Structure 1
Amino acid sequence: MDSNPDQNPIRGHARWSAEPGWLNTASHGLPPDVAYEAMTLAQESWRLGRTDMDEFHAAGERARATFGRLVGAPAETIMASGTTSALLAPFAAGLPVGGRVVVPEVEFTSNLFPWLVQQARGVEVVTVPVSKLVESIDERTTAVAFSLVQSADGTIAPEADIVAAARAYGARVYVDGTQACGWLPVDVTRYDLFVVSAYKWLMTPRGAAYGYVDPDLTERTLAHAANWYAGAPDGDPYYGPPLRLAAGARRFDTSPAWFCQVGAAPALEVVERIGVEHIRAHDVGLANRFLTGLGLPSGDSAIVAIEQSDAQARLSAAGIRFSARAGRTRLAFHVYNTEAEVDDAIRALTA
């Protein structure tokens, strides 16, 4: 990428080998070299028959603890799985018959289908615009579920107002942080549940997902996907009864994709080392440079969506990688991106 360190001082904390033009982290992030190398070494050990299961487990626990530090929660409140929908499922199944959950209407389906499928057993699911979430929470509401940052266009939800409204009526707060965690600082202890697919802004391999569970919710929720890896860590996990689940959020773990955890641990540590506040300043700064260059108002998100009829053809011709979502062209700016890449995208759209 750009060889001038002044273009991106954040890159002094880690190295990436990406080709210029990847402005699509909202689809998936790019691994820091240290994560790619760790995963490659683990696969080589597997190929040669030198696999050490304890090392895989240790990598997973490193990742769990680091994720907890990034979101302000102790490791015993962190669960791990492969996808956000798998993490959400037992909590959706735990909604009472006759319960009412409020969800944004243009919500990514991994944080929508787990709730909608519960309608078959009598749970009411109400979908409203993000801007109407607060006023839609009332005494009938059991829970509110929303993405902290909307996938389609990068809109940051008014989470303080949503949380206040939910608490006023005793409703649970379930948050998907997939498009936020890694560039937007969060304190997950404000919520009952917070889940993240880490392969985007946290730059892990796909197949690593983490979540925070409030201890009270942990005790009140049945671990529907109970498995050997969710067992108590001080007992034999392999054979026979009785049921012996971990005491904390780990009871909601699913058996990990080992190589993903090997790559996840160093990737998460890179984010921690740089600092999420520094990443936000860098990412949002690049996003606003892009918007200003197009004559558009600046914003507060690392994700932008533009409505320009020929944008996709122009960006593709210039070698810029992006995504198309909800009828608009979506670009996302992260730690490995430089001002030079932003300027290339601006020129492609304005020349």
Structure 2
Amino acid sequence: MRTAFGESFDVPDGYLNSASVGIPPVRVTEAVLESVRRWGSGRCSPPEFDAPVATARAAFAELVGVGADRVAIGTAVSQLLGPIAAAVPDGARVVVAEGEFTSVSFPFAVQAGRGVTVTEAPPARLVEAAAEADVVAVSVVQSADGRVADLDGLREVRETHGTLVVLDVTQAAGWLPLSLAWADVVAGGGYKWLLAPRGTAWMALRPEVEAVPHLAGWYASEDPWKGVYGLPPNLASDARAFDVSPAWTCQVGAAGTLPWLAGLDMAAVHSHCAGLADALRMAVGMAPTGSAIVSVGAPGAIDRLTTAGVAASARAGGARLAFGLYNTADDLDRAVDALV
């Protein structure tokens, strides 16, 4: 058991895998377990989950710098981006980062039958390529190696060229300070750095984004509890029109972690996480980058880390290590000892 930023975590020594699965505070685990126990004993009532849904929605909005009325809920990033990709015009030119996570690129790539083209650009040329595209879709922090996108450059492209900017914050929100009200679409999954259960995701939309909520169901209604039968569809007038029916118990967990994260000094969280990651980079002869995710390409790195009791992931030919807010100098030393 360890403590960090005012919370207790049951994180094992050497756990450097938050980029795959984030570990929640102990109190959040208990809240989810209690929700499951209530379900298992027939004591839960569906409307009681509206409060955690609203709480998590508002906290995600705060984490990315928008109003809660701009945020839709879902269970996965690709699910939320599907209607956005389906709304781009026939023949639209979409650019993504080379090696982009497929939950970002696939929703657009499957629109090829309408003449939509998706081009991969080297990260260093992404802003340049975006200036010549109709849409740019990119992770704020790349999953494979932790590279941070040039957000200032993308914002300028949007303002100058009108390119639709779609951002995935799954590997960024929770450790990187974000202010993304300028972006057209901001989506993120909850089970990594937001330390929520898998089955939680959110998407922030600028009001002028035009898309059809193809996945609309009862929870997308203006009043969900009055919209479960009949037509016409009286959808919500804000981003809730894109809501997908929530995974209830998962939202209980999200309501425990996201408001806590939103209340932290995110600059301090970033300094802690990226500071540990940069210390590892320097120990193995790499330049610091300010990202909490490190990819080490040395031969046998993942095997050496595993033998040393370090939990990391094999990604894109390297060993990916992710330093969360609950990680310590002891975790760093264990990784360095295994790699150097």
Q: Tell me, yes or no, whether TM beats 0.5.
A: yes
Structure 1: gaps spanning 5 or more residues: 6-10
| Alignment partner, residue 204 of structure 2 | 212
Distance 2:17 2:270 in 1: 16
Distance 2:76 2:225 in 1: 27
The one-letter code matched in structure 1 to 2:229 is Y
Which of 151, 155, 171 is the aligned partner of 1:159?
A: 151
Of 172, 178, 182, 1:180 maps to 172
CA-CA distance at 1:348 after TM superposition: 1.6
On the 8 A contact 2:5/2:325 being kept in 1, the answer is: no
User: Where does residue 8 of structure 1 map in the other structure?
Assistant: none
- Whether contact under 8 Å (2:302, 2:318) holds in the other structure is no
- How much has 1:19 moved relative to structure 2? 1.2
Report deviation, 1:308. Answer: 1.1
Q: What is the SS of the residue equivalent to 2:208? A: helix
2:29 to 27, 36, 43: 36
* Structure 1 partner of 2:101: 108
- Partners of 1:290 and 1:235 lie apart in 2 by 51
SS at match of 2:333: helix
Cα distance, 1:26–1:285 mapped onto 2, change above 3 Å: same
Instruction: Work out whether residues 13 and 274 of structure 1, in 8 Å CA contact, stay in contact via their aligned partners in 2.
Output: no
Matched, 1:292 2:282: yes
1:120 paired with 2:107, answer no
Task: Report the AA paired with residue 275 of structure 1.
Answer: D
Deviations 1:124-174 (A, max 9, x none): 2222111111221345x2211111111110000112112212331211111
Identity between Structure 1 and Structure 2 (%): 41
Q: Which of 314, 321, 324 is the aligned partner of 1:331? A: 321
The aligned residue for residue 163 of structure 2 is: 171
Between the aligned partners of 1:112 and 1:130, the Cα distance in structure 2 is 14
With over 3 angstroms needed to count, the CA separation of the structure-2 counterparts of 1:83 and 1:93, relative to structure 1, is same
Is 1:303 aligned to 2:303, yes or no?
no
What TM-score comes out, normalization by structure 2 length? 0.97
Range with greater deviation from structure 2 (232-241 or 91-100): 232-241
Aligned to 2:194: 202
Counterpart among 32, 53, 61 of residue 54 in structure 2: 61
CA distance in 2, matches of 1:15, 1:270: 13
Q: Residue type of the partner of 1:318? A: A
Kindly report which structure 2 residues correspond to 1:65-144, keeping only aligned pairs within 5 A, or say none. 65-138=58-131, 141-144=133-136
Name which of 201, 214, 234 aligns with 1:224. 214
Does residue 146 (structure 1) correspond to residue 138 (structure 2)? The answer is yes
Q: 2:233 aligns with which of 240, 243, 251?
A: 243
Residue 13 of structure 1 contacts residue 270 of structure 1 at CA under 8 Å; is this kept in 2? no
Shift of residue 39, structure 1, vs aligned partner: 0.4
- Aligned to 1:313, the other structure's residue is in SS state helix
Distance of 2:128 and 2:41 partners within structure 1: 59
Deviation of 1:236 after TM superposition, in Å, equals 1.0
User: Which is worse superposed, 255-264 or 309-318?
Assistant: 309-318
Q: Distance in 2 between matches of 1:12 and 1:73?
A: 24
Match of 1:318 in 2: 308
Pick which of 240-249 and 130-139 moved more: 130-139
Asked whether the equivalents of residues 103 and 133 of structure 1 are also in contact (C-alpha less than 8 Å), the reply is yes
Query: Partners in 1 of 2:127 and 2:180 — Cα distance?
Result: 19
TM-score by length of 1: 0.94
What is the DSSP-based 3-state SS (H/G/I as helix, E as strand, rest coil) of the residue aligned with 1:285? helix
Asked whether the 8 Å contact 1:81–1:256 carries over to 2, the reply is yes
The whole-number CA distance in structure 1 between the counterparts of 2:103 and 2:239 is: 20
CA contact (8 A) 1:184 1:277 kept: yes
Query: Are the structure 2 counterparts of residues 22 and 76 from structure 1 closer, same or farther at C-alpha, using a change threshold of 3 Å?
Result: same
What is the DSSP-based 3-state SS (H/G/I as helix, E as strand, rest coil) of the residue aligned with 1:196?
A: strand
Which whole-Å CA distance do the structure 2 matches of 1:235 and 1:270 have between them? 29
Check conservation: 1:14, 1:270, Cα contact below 8 A: no
Report how far residue 12 of structure 1 moved: 4.4
Q: Which sits farther off after the overlay, 126-135 or 186-195?
A: 126-135
* Paired amino acid for 1:81: G
Check whether the contact 1:92–1:115 (CA below 8 A) recurs between aligned residues.
Answer: yes
Partner Cα distance (1:129, 1:230) in 2: 38
1:13 aligns with 2:13: no
C-alpha distance in structure 2 between counterparts of 1:320 and 1:274, whole Å? 27
